[in-house]
Amino acid sequence: MTSELSADPGRHYDRGGWLVQFTGHILVVCPRCGGRALVLPRPGFPEPKYSYELLILPRRLACQGCGAVADWEPEVREAGLVAANPSGTEDPFFRRPLWLQTRCVGQILWAYNEKHVTELSAYVGATLREHEASPKRAMIPRLPRWLKSSAHRSEVLAGLEALRVLANRSAPADRSEAAYERGDRPQHYGALYFRGGPYRNSS
């Protein structure tokens, strides 16, 4: 878990979780029909023991609307697997625009899925924000200032509610006008490689 959700909605306790924890499934724009597609772990691979293994777990993009299917595997470099880098308004595997995007206070508010929306809502809505010593890639400290600002709380919470509604819609006509490519795809982690292991295709 990224945070400890309290019975007090005004309190949020961040334990330093990474954004990668929300990449188990990602809602994206289908490359064929423009409706909602899902990016999920491909079947036949073992369940990850650690959250960072989600960065190299082979993925499948599938659209229930038009039947589009595509597969992704991590890049092999020097006998190692190059990890994906979750960040920005495109999914880190297929580089498709995220389905959950909306304009908010002159910026783009985005999320991977409903669980991600819930975590962001808990943080933004809290008047008491507590945290442990955060690792370098913890999600909450890396959120943009405009999203964390108490001056924008009501607008951001309204935007997150709009994303929650979008998560339950799937037709091409339901696509947000903000859900388009921006070329803000992240770079690879660089030196972070995983050698061999159960997620590497031996073919």
Cα 134 to Cα 152: distance, rounded to the nearest angstrom: 24
Residue 196: the pLDDT is 54
Q: Is the pLDDT of residue 90 over 60?
A: yes
Element (H, E) at 120: helix 114-125
Q: In this structure, how many other beta carbons lie within 10 angstroms of the beta carbon of residue 5?
A: 15
Distance separating alpha carbons of residues 112 and 91, to the nearest angstrom = 8
- Model confidence pLDDT, tens digit, residues 156-202: 999 999 999 999 999 999 999 999 988 776 555 543 555 556 666 64
Q: For residue range 19-40, what is the model confidence (pLDDT) as tens digits?
A: 999 999 999 999 999 999 999 9
CA distance 170 to 163: 12
- CA nearest 54: which of 94, 89, 111, 93? 93
Give the dihedral of Cα atoms 20, 87, 135, 128; nearest 10 deg. Answer: -90
The reply to whether the predicted model has a pTM over 0.75 is yes
